[in-house]
Amino acid sequence: MSAPERIPPRSVTTADLLAHGELTVRGRIREASNAALFCTVAYEGQEASCVYKPVAGERPLWDFPDGTLAGREVAAYEVSEATGWQLVPPTVLRDGPYGEGMCQLWIDVVPGAELLALVDDEEPGPGWKAIGLAEVGEGRTALLVHADDERLRRLAVLDAVINNADRKGGHLLPAEGGRLYGIDHGVTFNVDDKLRTLLWGWAGEPLTDEAVRVLGTLKETLEDGGALAGRLAGLITPAEIDATRARVDALLASGRHPEPGGEWPAIPWPPV
C-alpha cells in the first residue's frame, strides 16, 4: 500500500490574514477623527499589524448620508487593485471586537522621502509641482509644492476616479521598496464633485499613456456584470457606482487631469 500523497500547506495571503485572523486591539490612534484602533491580526501562524475602524465608531456626515466610511475605504482598495497600481494597502470589511469595520494592513513609513515642501520662490524648482500659496505666519506666505513623482501622479488619477474629498499630506505613506501608499479613503465616491487634494500639480495636463490604458481597463470592469462593479456592490450605492463610471468616462473624454471646480474647496484643511 503506497503512502498517502502529502498535501502542501496552503499559503496564507494577506487578504486571508486580514479577513479571518484573530484581531487583538493594542491601542487607539488618537489623531484620527473617527475610531481607529491599532491591532495585531494572527491566522495560521502568520501575524501582522493592522488598523481596524469599526462602523460603530463613525461620526455621521451630512454630505455622505449613505453607506459607511468603512465600506468606502474597502471600495477605494478594490478600485486601486483594479488599476494594477496597488496604491492602497490591503483592506477588507470584517467583523471585529466592536462589530463590523474596515481592517487594513499597517504600513511602516520609510523616513526621509520628500513628497511635500514649502519654498520661498514664486515657481517650483526642478522635480517639483506647485500646489498654491500657504500662510506660514507673521504675514508671510510660501509656495506649497509636491514632488513631480510618477507614484503621486498615479494617486492623483485614482483620487479623481474615486472622488477623494480628503487627500492630505499625512495620508501619503512612503514604504519599503520605493512603494507609496495612500490611506484614509472614508470620504470618497460621492455622486457630487468633491475632489479635494494636495495633488493639483498636474491639473489640466494631459494624462499619461499609462493612465489612459488603466482608465480604459476600469471602464470595462465597471460595466454591468464586470468584476469591479460586482466587488463594489454592497460597499457603495448603485448611484455611487454610476457616478464612478461617469468620472472614468469624463477623464477618458478629456484626456487630462481634472482642474479645481471652484464650488468646493480645492485643498483639504488642514492640508497635512
267 pLDDT band, cuts 50/70/90, is confident
Half-sphere exposure of 88 (CA within 13 A, CB side): 27
pLDDT in tens, 73-127: 999 999 999 999 999 999 999 999 999 999 999 999 998 788 998 888 888 889 9
Q: What confidence score (pLDDT) does residue 136 get?
A: 65
Q: What confidence score (pLDDT) does residue 134 get?
A: 74
Alpha-carbon distance of 212 to 216, in angstroms, equals 6
Q: Which residues of 14-51 are buried (b: 16+ CB within 10 A; e: fewer)?
A: beebbbebebeeeeeeeeeebbbbebebebeeeebebb
pTM: 0.92
Half-sphere exposure of 236 (CA within 13 A, CB side): 30
| Residue 32 or residue 244, greater confidence | 244
Alpha-carbon distance of 188 to 243, in angstroms, equals 11
| Residue 135 or residue 238, greater confidence | 238
Answer yes or no: is pLDDT of 264 > 80. no
pLDDT in tens, 25-45: 999 988 888 899 999 999 999
Q: Using alpha carbons only, give the angle 70, 71, 72 rounded to the nearest 5 degrees.
A: 90
Residues forming beta bridges with residue 43, ordered by sequence position: 46
Answer yes or no: is pLDDT of 47 > 90. yes
pLDDT in tens, 170-203: 999 999 999 999 999 999 999 999 999 999 999 9
Q: Which amino acid is at 33?
A: S
Q: What confidence score (pLDDT) does residue 269 get?
A: 74
